[in-house]
Amino acid sequence: MDQVNLLSSITYIDTERSIEFGEIKITDTECNIHLYEDIVVTSATKFQVANVWDVSYKSFSSEASLLYLHTHRGVLTYKVYTDPDHFVETFKKLKNKHY
């Protein structure tokens, strides 16, 4: 993806849990969601903006929020530690421009 066309980006934490030698192992990885004019890109998926109906979030602690991508494949949840207001507002402005 061309960084010049990047409208907004937000970092989220991908948590992977596994059991190794009888112990629970938790691995946190920082990933990004990138919003472009026509596509939303995460570490695992890409969505056309037309297939993302909404973006919302809910704070669940003083440190973190859950960011929700409402898509044609269901709602995807991402744990974010930065304020998601800018990302959400940029997405809503982009969607309103198309309608």
Residue, of 93 and 98, whose pLDDT is higher: 93
Specify the DSSP class assigned to residue 81: S
Contacts of 96 (CB under 8 A, 6+ apart): none
Structural domain of 17: 3-98
- The pTM assigned to this predicted structure is 0.84
Q: Alpha-carbon distance 67 to 46, whole Å?
A: 16
The string of pLDDT tens digits covering residues 46-73 is 999 999 999 999 998 888 999 999 999 9
Task: Let me know: does 33 contact 40? Beta carbons within 8 Å.
Answer: yes
Tell me the pLDDT tens digit for each residue of 12-30. Answer: 999 999 999 999 999 999 9
Structure tokens at 55: 């973006």
Question: 43 near 14, Cβ under 8 Å?
Answer: yes
Helix (H) or strand (E) holding 52: strand 52-59
Domain containing 42 — which CATH number? 2.30.29.30
How many domains is the chain built from?
A: 1
